[in-house]
Structure 1
């Protein structure tokens, strides 16, 4: 991998991470892939908020690591997983920053799901 520009979140591109107060359940093909009350919500600039689920609350037996990788100058390199039970629509459905940059270090050991590549992401308020 070649050197990439590293950017620090700031007023022009804010990123915040905070604990979620919700229970989040992700399903594919009738199987619960993830279920947690310990998610983090990452808000980045004008993008929709993303729930990051701790790896301890993910059934990795349902996932398959792929060769896909993408780079974000604010977060680092992301690796991807597919969910074979979901077929072609669940390819590269999950991403993870194994070594996130310091500004977003809280998302280490967490994964996120593309909502359009899973059957459902149910968010239930717990408070």
Structure 2
């Protein structure tokens, strides 16, 4: 049984910080249509609900393996697709690409830390 530990907390903190910030940016963007706003907020919602599920299971001292695995898979899959799209699309500036590459690599590193089994030797 996997419980909430110091290895998981950085991913949860990162996820809450990054995606709460994203929600703020989306809500401040007056150029988005209702559909664009809804789609972006749905993505934010998935990240926040998954992180909250891990946190709640951890606080209850329940096994967090399943919600953590789902959060890890969703985060990795999202950034592989979206991060790759950003890097390959010429419309984005170098600064935008650098920022999102940092977010992507930070997420990957924290996912590995959270799901990796500790070395018992």
Specify the structure having the higher radius of gyration (Cα).
2
Category of TM-score, reference length = shorter chain: under 0.3
The structure carrying a bigger strand percent of its residues is 1
Q: Return the TM-score normalized by structure 1.
A: 0.26
Q: Return the TM-score normalized by structure 2.
A: 0.27
Larger RCO, structures 1/2 (Cα 8 Å, 6+ apart): 2
